[in-house]
Amino acid sequence: MSVPTTATHQGLPVGKLSAYLDWVQMLTGAALILFMWSHLILVSSILLGPRVMNGLAWFFEATYMAQVGGPLVFLAFLVHFALAARKIPFATREQRVMLANAKRMRHPDTWLWIVQATTAMGILIMGGIHMWVILTNLPITAEKSAARIQTGFWFVFYLFLLPMVELHVGIGFYRILVKWGFLDRSGRWAIKKKENLLTALFIAVGLLSLLRYYFLPLQ
């Protein structure tokens, strides 16, 4: 009689390795969610005036949070995408099957995952460009940000990036609560409704901030 064996990868059972990778994906995702919400606070401080925004930016510079935290965020960004990419269908045939299953199942959470996977592709490219431009042009100031956005190209660039990021972050927050048992089935609708309102609020604040930068007088 043969003894069943367990598939292994680098000494770990495949199932356990997958669980560890899912855990790291969740942790990096949660860290990026907190970062994006904090980032929005910094960016939207322009609504209180350039001096407020510059004061916050100076604090991050003086404490080296920008110099150290920026690369760490970029690393977490890459790790999170690499782990999430394990479950994203890249082949056209797989994408057709996924969409067909979503239409047949008619499950809202399935469509949320599709939106999250789709926005991830745009964020990977556009978010990477944004972080590179910011980290290679420190220190951050209201005047620099306004000058960049007022070129026109960057204004449109952020008009696309802003809703993609906020949708991705909002859905990611909801799915973390569901997947890791922080939220039972009966509480999903209430949390989803609140999360939708929060996402809409973040997008609205982000749009107002973009407009403030766009019309900020430059000396």
Q: Is 107 annotated as a binding residue?
A: no
The CA distance from 80 to 18, in Å, is: 14
Q: Which residues pair with 13 in a beta bridge?
A: 8
Buried b (16+ CB within 10 A) or exposed e, 65-93: ebeeebeebeebbebbbebbeeebeeeee
- Residues in Cβ contact with 27 at an 8 Å cutoff, skipping those fewer than 6 apart: none
**Angle, nearest 10°, between helix axes 153-179 and 14-44?**
130
CB within 8 Å of 103: residues ≥ 6 apart? none
What is the distance between the alpha carbons of residues 197 and 78, in angstroms, rounded to a whole number? 28
List binding-site positions: 39, 80, 130, 168
List binding-site positions for heme b: 39, 80, 130, 168
